[in-house]
Chain A
Amino acid sequence: MTIPAGSLLTAQDLRKAYGPTTALDGAEFSIHPGEVVAVMGPSGSGKSTLLHCLAGIVMPDSGSITYNGREVTAMSDAERSALRRSEFGFVFQFGQLVPELTCVENVALPLRLSGSSRKEAERTALAWMERLEVDELRKKRPGEVSGGQGQRVAVARALVTNPRVVFADEPTGALDSFNGERVMELLTDAARSANTAVVLVTHEARVAAYSDREIVVRDGRSRDMERVV
């Protein structure tokens, strides 16, 4: 596969196995700045592993991942952590908010990890919470808010550092369709206006419809539908 010009994040010939289970078997990927790409496929096809590899959370067994001209697979663990802190944002299905911290503290967390002062971090966090229409939850703890509200808080947290790429793994998986779509709408709106790319792993077509294009992962191999058609 040839790498499309101007790509922000690309992966070539990724292979990854967990013991006897092959999760990725020559997967390819590329995304442009500001683009929303849906990664689809049946469960167990390797979608999440692809996302984890792209985000530098998991190291592939072989293959290359390039972010902004840098080879991610050649980075040390500390470098990848720093990359995730400063350039990436994350939204997962559930279980990602620290239950002891209030919502605003949760949103401010990535900023504080990058060294911002508490006050400043929470001010920025609150601005993002307003944007995602959850600012009235700032003093509440994650256990006291609904699933949809919690995911919006999580989206605010993913965007608070102005990342270049947001990785969303089934962000609406635990939500009903109304709340799920609202979260998708807010996420993609915010991402587009900030020129943030979004890698969206989902098995729901209606969630994928918020993307600009989709790739399908089947048996560890990816298929870029745009280039097929």
Chain B
Amino acid sequence: MSAAQWGRDLSMGVRFAFAGGREGWIRALLTAVGVGLGVALLLLTTALPGALAERDRREEARSDHTFSQQEIPKAANTLVILDTDTTFRDQDVRGRMLEAEGPRAPLPPGVAKFPAAGEMVVSPALKELLASDSGKLLRERLPYRITGTIGEQGLVGSRELAFFAGGEGLAKQLEGPASGARINSFGNDDLGSSDPWDPVLLLLVLVVFVVLLMPVAVFIAAAVRFGGERRDRRLAALRLVGSDSAMTRRIAAGEALAGSVLGLVLGTVFFLLGRQLAASFEVFHVSVFPSYLNPSPLLAALVAVAVPTAAVLVTLLALRGVVIEPLGVVRTAKPARRRLWWRLLLPLGGLAMLVPMVGQGSDEGTFNQYLVVGGVMLLLVGVTALLPWIVERVVARLGSGGIAWQLAVRRLQLTSGAAARMVNGIAVAVAGAIALQMLFAGVEGNYTAASQYDVSRAQMSVDVPESTDIASTARAYRDTEGVRKVTVLSDVHLGDRRVEADSYVQLTVGDCAALREVATLHSCRDGDVFAVRGSEYESESDHLTEPGTTLWTDGDRLVSWSVPKDIRQAQPREDPTGYERGGILLTPGALPEKLAAATSASLFLSVDRSVPDAYEYVRNTAARLNPTAQPMTWNSTESNERYATIRTGLSVGAACVLALIGASLLVSQLEQLRERRKLLSSLVAFGTRRRTLSLSVLWQTAIPIGLGLLLAATVGVALGAVLLRMTNTAIRVDWPSVLSMTGIGAGVVLVVTLLSLPPLLKMMRPDGLRTE
């Protein structure tokens, strides 16, 4: 067989893919759109690691200071920078105050000119927010004039909220509790803290990618088979005019090639469009700039080669069961009964690859990445192998019912393979998603630490810098809308010696109500002093609370204080932050004025959560009193950030995959309907109700989908269980997620059926009877 002959046949196939008038074009376009959607998702996946790396790089490039950095003196090239981060509703706002100390002070990335005091430059998203009605409260908090925007270089996402405000005399504040530093450059190499990935996290990432890409692969395989029957008839016509069976196969390969290459082009276009669109989306607080999404060239090249190759292979495989004769297409008369054993081998093989790794997830263990990927893939491929067998067996046993049911069941009996192929993608996606959800739910305990905050007592806290008038500060918060109660606690640490103290004891000052938040008191009046002994953390300093002991403050101005004779005992109690303090408690009446100056105060705020934006009012008050103050809001749980990122990725990906599969279902559904247009019209002609036909279409999808979801749930739970065992976590089936994933799968089918109804009703119009 000469290469020229091959080329001729292939190019003939390419011509056929687009010839054939409107029908031909539509079919080619459908295939291309299907493949294109898949390619776009593949490209997105290949671009994702790069995008995340790019985000990291920018984050690093604009990093300004760390806690451990060395202090440098004021110079011509220094800049004082203070953190003024804030939170608005559920969005974080990155804020910095800047003051250049010389002409060569470094400009932050993306900022063209230092804002003067009272001015600020903002990110485009923040500008938008501040200008909108919903941003009114935030506008009050940031009372600076906007003089410019931060360029892309200074932001990690298109929707990031950030600002740089100019300030005066900031250096003074570096002494206080404000977080900030004097710096001479941005970008800190030390910050590129690359913890090696936790093996469990790595496992999660690997599984997420496999789980997302498998349905795409299944989907592409289905897409290149669009319009298969019509193609077979055309090939039969070619046989009639003298092409041999090998030639027809090559021509078919050429057609598939054309569709998939056009699909590659479309996929690139979709990807580029999606990339532009990506700028206007924010998913789980993560947004990216289009320029981040650059597929790595190697992976993109791999996609460009693999997709057409797969398309041709799938086509040739599909043609194996078909004998194309000059006078028509003969499907191998009785398709061989589907055998179970090799179909079972795939998932069992997958299990066999995963089971040896059980228990390796704990204590510095590692997983063999290839075994993980291979095992998960085999298990999921097992779904696509088992499903046709199950559909065939079940459908053959389905009995009688209404006429819509009969039409659907009979059709499924005749074409159970095609029906199974249609839902394969959804089944694989759902199985994977269930397994992942289980894995997440299982390891959530490890990565989402239940925080110790007792959110029933207080929901926010504010630190008040030394030398601030506490009473007026507390009043300001009390007067703030939505604040129910303010608890003021000041403290100071006192040492046992004038210099080089061996041990320290904490002195806490507050009125009786406040002290009751941190200790159990039998009775309390102003002027009382209490000793708390046997606390969890500070019992070693208990001896310093003996009456008569003299204690000294630290620092420049020495103040001494003696433990009074009438000190009373109190029992420790966890404060709202979950901290059980010991030491000495003083009511304000017992506090000498000299010592009072040395204390620093914290306010615990109890907020009326029924007041909308209560937190925002508090933050505004805090910002008004001190722009660098960052009130803490307490949640009952805190989650590991990287874990959250993975879950975000999964949610985004699953949404894309299901949308994609839904689209493909719709496309093939419509194609099937179009091929049956004449039949549908004649059924309507002799009086079939539209409802009957619509219902039969629904059954036709619902039966295989139901079976598919059942299988998906089984395989998903099994895979999830194995993965949990691998990470040494107790197996717990996360029923809500199983139900919700299968529910979403079923929902996709319902939506697809609903969407295909209008064209179906249109096709049932009698126009279909007109002979073409």
Task: Determine whether A and B are in direct contact in the complex, meaning some CB atoms lie less than 8 angstroms apart.
Answer: yes
| Contact yes or no, B688 A95, CB < 8 A | no
8 A Cβ contacts from A59-112 to B? 81-86, 88-90, 92-93, 95-96, 98-101, 105, 109-110, 112
| Contact yes or no, A98 B403, CB < 8 A | no
Instruction: Answer whether residue A52 sits at the interface, using C-beta atoms and an 8 A cutoff.
Output: yes
Q: Could you say which residues of chain B place their CB within 8 Å of the CB of A89?
A: 686
Q: Could you say which residues of chain A place their CB within 8 Å of the CB of B685?
A: 55, 57, 84, 90, 92
- In the assembled complex, the Cα of A86 lies from the Cα of B689 at a distance in Å of 13
| Contact yes or no, B687 A84, CB < 8 A | yes
Q: Could you say which residues of chain A place their CB within 8 Å of the CB of B478?
A: none
- In the assembled complex, the Cα of A118 lies from the Cα of B406 at a distance in Å of 10
Q: Could you say which residues of chain B place their CB within 8 Å of the CB of A81?
A: 684, 687-689
- In the assembled complex, the Cα of A169 lies from the Cα of B688 at a distance in Å of 19
| Contact yes or no, B689 A101, CB < 8 A | no
8 A Cβ contacts from B742-772 to A? 766-767, 769-771
Q: Could you say which residues of chain A place their CB within 8 Å of the CB of B678?
A: 95-96
Instruction: Answer whether residue B69 sits at the interface, using C-beta atoms and an 8 A cutoff.
Output: no
| Contact yes or no, A101 B766, CB < 8 A | no
- Chain B nearest CB from A175 CB (Å) reads 16
8 A Cβ contacts from B673-711 to A? 678-679, 682-689, 692
Q: Could you say which residues of chain A place their CB within 8 Å of the CB of B352?
A: none
Instruction: Answer whether residue A113 sits at the interface, using C-beta atoms and an 8 A cutoff.
Output: yes
Count of chain B residues near A, Cβ 8 A: 25
| Contact yes or no, A113 B411, CB < 8 A | no
- Chain A nearest CB from B514 CB (Å) reads 77
Q: Which residue of A lies closest to B677 (CB)?
A: A95
- In the assembled complex, the Cα of A58 lies from the Cα of B685 at a distance in Å of 10
| Contact yes or no, A105 B410, CB < 8 A | yes
| Contact yes or no, A98 B766, CB < 8 A | no
| Contact yes or no, A90 B682, CB < 8 A | yes
Q: Which residue of A lies closest to B415 (CB)?
A: A100
Instruction: Answer whether residue A48 sits at the interface, using C-beta atoms and an 8 A cutoff.
Output: yes
| Contact yes or no, B414 A141, CB < 8 A | yes
Indicate with 1 or 0, residue by residue over A32-72, a CB within 8 angstroms of chain B CB atoms.
00000000000000001100100101100000000000000
| Contact yes or no, B406 A82, CB < 8 A | no
Q: A92-B769, A113-B692 are in contact. Are A101 and B410 (CB under 8 A)?
A: yes
Q: Which residue of A lies closest to B413 (CB)?
A: A100
Q: Could you say which residues of chain B place their CB within 8 Å of the CB of A93?
A: 771
| Contact yes or no, B769 A100, CB < 8 A | no
- In the assembled complex, the Cα of A98 lies from the Cα of B194 at a distance in Å of 65
| Contact yes or no, B769 A109, CB < 8 A | no
- Chain A nearest CB from B410 CB (Å) reads 4
| Contact yes or no, B770 A95, CB < 8 A | no
Q: Could you say which residues of chain B place their CB within 8 Å of the CB of A95?
A: 678-679, 682
Residue in B414, B687, B688 whose beta carbon sits within 8 Å of that of A100 in the complex: B414
Q: Could you say which residues of chain B place their CB within 8 Å of the CB of A100?
A: 407, 410-411, 413-415
- In the assembled complex, the Cα of A158 lies from the Cα of B678 at a distance in Å of 17
- Chain A nearest CB from B54 CB (Å) reads 54
- Chain A nearest CB from B304 CB (Å) reads 40
Q: A48-B770, A52-B769, A141-B414 are in contact. Are A105 and B406 (CB under 8 A)?
A: yes
- In the assembled complex, the Cα of A228 lies from the Cα of B133 at a distance in Å of 83
Instruction: Answer whether residue B68 sits at the interface, using C-beta atoms and an 8 A cutoff.
Output: no
| Contact yes or no, A57 B414, CB < 8 A | no
Q: Which residue of B lies closest to A84 (CB)?
A: B687
Q: Could you say which residues of chain A place their CB within 8 Å of the CB of B679?
A: 95-96, 98-99
Q: Could you say which residues of chain A place their CB within 8 Å of the CB of B684?
A: 57, 81
8 A Cβ contacts from B552-570 to A? none
Instruction: Answer whether residue B637 sits at the interface, using C-beta atoms and an 8 A cutoff.
Output: no
Q: Could you say which residues of chain B place their CB within 8 Å of the CB of A55?
A: 685
8 A Cβ contacts from B398-426 to A? 400, 403, 406-407, 410-411, 413-415
| Contact yes or no, B771 A48, CB < 8 A | yes
| Contact yes or no, A57 B769, CB < 8 A | yes
Q: Could you say which residues of chain B place their CB within 8 Å of the CB of A82?
A: 687
Q: Which residue of B lies closest to A53 (CB)?
A: B766
Q: Could you say which residues of chain B place their CB within 8 Å of the CB of A99?
A: 414, 679
- Chain B nearest CB from A153 CB (Å) reads 13
Indicate with 1 or 0, residue by residue over B382-412, a CB within 8 angstroms of chain A CB atoms.
0000000000000000001001001100110
| Contact yes or no, A57 B766, CB < 8 A | yes
- In the assembled complex, the Cα of A85 lies from the Cα of B413 at a distance in Å of 27
| Contact yes or no, A88 B686, CB < 8 A | yes
Query: Can you list 18 A-B pairs with a CB-CB distance of less than 8 A?
Result: A18-B767, A18-B770, A48-B769, A49-B770, A57-B769, A81-B684, A82-B687, A83-B687, A85-B688, A88-B686, A92-B682, A93-B771, A95-B682, A98-B410, A100-B407, A101-B406, A118-B400, A157-B686
Name B's A-contacting residues (CB within 8 A): 400, 403, 406-407, 410-411, 413-415, 678-679, 682-689, 692, 766-767, 769-771
New A-B contacts (11) at CB < 8 Å, excluding given A92-B685, A118-B400, A157-B686: A48-B770, A57-B684, A81-B687, A83-B687, A84-B685, A88-B686, A101-B407, A101-B410, A112-B403, A113-B686, A113-B687
5 nearest interchain CB pairs? Answer: A85-B687, A84-B687, A100-B410, A57-B766, A100-B411
